[in-house]
Structure 1
Amino acid sequence: MNVETISTEALGDRGYLVHDGGSALVVDPQRDFDRVEDLAARLGVRITHVAETHVHNDYVTGGLALARHHHATYLVAAAEDVSFERHPVHPGDQFAVGTMTVTAVATPGHTEHHLAYVVEHEGQRAVFSGGNLLFGSVGRTDLVAPDKTADLTRAQYRSARALADHAGDDATLHPTHGFGSFCSSGPAVVADSSTIAEQRRSNHALTDPDEHHFVRTLIDNLSAYPSYYSHMAPLNLRGPAAPDLSVPQPLRADELKARIANGQWVVDLRDRVAFAARHLSGTVGIEYGNSFTTYLGWTLPWGEPITLVGSEADVRAAIRDLSRIGIDRPDAAIGDPAHGIAPGHPLVGYRRATWPELTRQKQPPIVLDVRRADEHRAGHVAGCVHIPLHDLVRRLDEVPAGEVWVHCASGYRAGIAASLLHRARHDVVHVDGDWAQAADAGVPITTP
């Protein structure tokens, strides 16, 4: 048995292709499943089964389209009310994938009908745990409904332990979440591999003997998660089609200028330093990288038209990434926004600064903290205004008049916030620095 990992670092998730040299099972594939097909082709294996551990809340699945493309059996929990044909899976069901045996195990908690899959082959066992057992923790339990969180957390504690007992200490563990995904909770850690035996020593779901204490601790430490999550499960229940990852015909200069003039969301993909120095007036800067998808989806209003502006390579990559959260076929203008892409349209910029520069101001400036509420509670600039980035668009009228110095934990989110503020005619300074260095620079910090 061989287990191949398909990582999606931008969303903090992993999918898997497990095979015996001839037949393959794919677990929790992302929507851009061409990566899975390319891997299967290189390995010379045939995809016969595709399995979902749960109806995902953080991305649009590629499972249905992949299964149809390969005439594979699509395994989805029988209890899920989906709008497409699949093989309905009940806990305890077994499937033969080539010479491998796959057993479905009930693991409610992350979602109500969550399943794990234990694959056995020639004395080896591998556990595909989805959002149940992660490395060091478990999947979060508050994504289904607020009034079900406590019950699901209790279920998560019990099912994690039952899964560990079922699989046995020698089994390798392969979770879907826990690599930066907001679907993880508690002390989840990023690692290349783990086993059930290792998790028995380090995972608080398996080391905490007090269920009540585990439930209370996990719920107390749940933080905000992206607003676009609310759209993922409905899309997955309907059965997503394969994405169109082609780059559209680039917009003409007059079309781009008209969209900016009409107040549409025109997103500059360049790094935050270049954007601050010089950009098309009325655009928003969301630097392309591993955090791009999460914060675009979390910050801009869902369903409104988006136009991407940047190099062809960045636009192509952004189209792929956005398809994973159901944002399909954004329009694009290809080129450097600061050099001739929209002749005659005003080019503007704003200041970037460091923490020491903040302390050298004659009068304490207005400071806007755009981190999450849990980050802010742990310590913040004395007297600052706090509006999380994901709330900023709808709360722009709460930002005080005058020069505003905006910061986050690293400078990335503050760059997005600064662009939004500047677009809304605020005088803004982007504090592009590490929050851990603020106190050492002499910034007055309020702590709990």
Structure 2
Amino acid sequence: MTTTIVAIDTPSLGDRSYLIHDGQVAFVVDPQRDIDRMLAAADCAGVRITHVFETHIHNDYVTGGFALAQRTGAQYFVNADDLVSFDRTPISGGDVVDVSPEMRVRVVATPGHTFTHLSYALEGDEPAVFSGGSLLFGSTGRPDLLGPEHTHALAHHQFASARSLARELPDATVVMPTHGFGSFCSATATTSGATGSTIGTERLSNPALTRSEEEYVAEIIAGLDAFPAYYAHMGPANSHGPSGPDLSPPLQADKAELSRRLHAGEWLVDLRSRSAFALGHVPGTVNFGLDGQFATYLGWLIPWGTPVTLLGESPEQVAEAQRELVRIGIDSPSAAATGGPDDWTDGPLGRFERATFADLAQVLHHRRVTVLDVRRVGEWRESHVDGAVHVPLHFLLERLGDVPSGEVWIHCAAGYRASIAASFLVANGHQQVVAVDDSFGDHAADAGLALVSERSGTD
């Protein structure tokens, strides 16, 4: 009997969860909070979930592990050294779990992403390792999420853990990480771009396996950049055994109710694309389109606990956003409305222009405008428009006063963050805002913009 591995992707958070089965029973590694996807996968395969494993106390999402175990009656395995307030099956490095006669799981202690991180090696003819936030494709999990006082020690642990996996596991072992597909839990902004890997492949290319310890630690620490503010709330939530999500439809709000909520300081979040938002939106609303890392950036910017009303083109769009938000612990939006701006207000609509880097280059030849770069520090240091004002998006709300009045052209790497920033500037009284909806890496230099690099300094 063969073993089948089903990967369940959460692209907006850059994560993967796994269902592993032998045709009869299954175990799960690092399930997201919306466990209905995992239950559906198990039902489709005709298998029963008997074991649920956590590689670590996650920092980037609310786990579904506890709720899934409660729902299915599965054993819930969490590191014995993790301080949690729920019943679990404690587990430690060196333990072996026989899930079934066909599936034997060996636990490997792999500290580095956290001090108590575990990886799970599936033994047999087709070996695999579920490496969580330890060994990623061409990278490793970042070591700074527990605070700067632990970063250096965890970086050294991460190096040792990667070496341990490479030493103990056969080259043919398939690497199955949880993070590294756009997740801010990765130590680098991008991983190798691979969709799969093995221990043998990583041995040839992963910095933790090709550099010296000193080189690796220096490189990983130098490459660290900001991570989402909502991460601070994930560890405590996961240590208390979070419940399953409430995905029931939110209260439907009419025009008067939307106006009341907006004036009360609630966030009215427009889920439409940035192009649709620029063409017309309810003044005061903010744009976090579902076509990008919606939950990551909304969770990063919103003051925690602020009520949220969702504005979508359809009930399905609102439901998708609601699902995204429960994954990071923003439960039960206070209200929702569907349709378009004319269905949400009787007043005049807000608008702003969209442009390309070629347009920006032409404008700079003719008049003086403010170029606002809202990318992160690492991106800015790599290359930026000479003379641009730099306010990373995650600092924008507290640094609105740093944005000059007058005509402001906003850009990021591809346009998504620029639209978010433009929506906030317009909502806060800026009259002349242009969002650059274009690829910085592909087109800024070709447009003739003067670019400079800055490899030192802090933000």
Say whether the fold is shared (TM-score over 0.5).
yes
Aligned to 1:368: 372
2:210 corresponds to which of 207, 214, 236: 207
Aligned to 1:291: 293
Q: Is the 8 A contact 2:78 2:90 kept in 1?
A: yes
1:411 corresponds to which of 399, 403, 415: 415
In structure 1, distance between residues paired with 2:308 and 2:358: 36
Aligned to 2:148: 146
Q: SS at 1:309's partner residue? A: strand
Q: Is the 8 A contact 1:139 1:177 kept in 2?
A: yes
Residue type of the alignment partner of 1:269: L
- Structure 1 unmatched ranges of 5 or more: none
- Structure 2 unmatched ranges of 5 or more: 455-459
Residue type of the alignment partner of 1:390: H
In structure 2, distance between residues paired with 1:190 and 1:312: 34
Q: Is the 8 A contact 2:254 2:337 kept in 1?
A: no
Q: SS at 1:406's partner residue? A: strand
1:190 corresponds to which of 185, 190, 193: 193
2:244 corresponds to which of 239, 242, 245: 242
* Cα-to-partner distance string for 1:270-296 (whole Å, 9 max, x where unaligned): 111111111111111111124111111
Q: SS at 1:279's partner residue? A: coil
Q: Does 1:70 align with 2:72?
A: yes
* Cα-to-partner distance string for 1:218-252 (whole Å, 9 max, x where unaligned): 11111111111111111101111000112213112
In structure 1, distance between residues paired with 2:285 and 2:340: 10
Aligned to 1:33: 35
In structure 2, distance between residues paired with 1:411 and 1:26: 36
Displacement of 1:338: 2.0
1:425 corresponds to which of 423, 429, 437: 429
1:278 corresponds to which of 280, 301, 316: 280
Residue type of the alignment partner of 2:182: G
Residue type of the alignment partner of 1:321: E
Aligned to 2:263: 261
* Cα-to-partner distance string for 1:142-190 (whole Å, 9 max, x where unaligned): 1112111111111111111112222221211111111111111236223
Q: Which moved more, 1:419-428 or 1:287-296?
A: 287-296
Aligned to 1:118: 121
Scaled by the length of structure 1, the TM-score of the pair is 0.97
Aligned to 2:457: none
In structure 2, distance between residues paired with 1:432 and 1:268: 18
Q: Is the 8 A contact 1:57 1:232 kept in 2?
A: yes
Q: SS at 2:209's partner residue? A: helix
Q: Which runs of 4 or more aligned residues in structure 1 lie more than 4 Å from their structure 2 counterparts after TM superposition?
A: none
Q: SS at 1:197's partner residue? A: helix
Aligned to 2:352: 350
Q: SS at 1:124's partner residue? A: coil
In structure 1, distance between residues paired with 2:215 and 2:447: 39
RMSD value over aligned CA atoms?
1.3
Q: Does 1:399 align with 2:403?
A: yes
Q: Is the 8 A contact 2:282 2:344 kept in 1?
A: no
Q: SS at 1:347's partner residue? A: coil
Q: Tell me the number of residue pairs that the alignment of Structure 1 and Structure 2 aligns.
A: 445
Aligned residues with identical type, % of pairs: 51
Aligned to 2:449: 443
2:338 corresponds to which of 325, 335, 339: 335
In structure 2, distance between residues paired with 1:142 and 1:281: 39
Q: Does 1:130 align with 2:136?
A: no
Q: Does 1:4 align with 2:12?
A: no
2:107 corresponds to which of 96, 104, 107: 104
* Cα-to-partner distance string for 1:407-440 (whole Å, 9 max, x where unaligned): 1111110000000000000121112222131222
In structure 1, distance between residues paired with 2:356 and 2:88: 54
In structure 1, distance between residues paired with 2:133 and 2:358: 42
In structure 1, distance between residues paired with 2:92 and 2:444: 53
In structure 2, distance between residues paired with 1:340 and 1:251: 11
Q: Is the 8 A contact 1:369 1:408 kept in 2?
A: yes
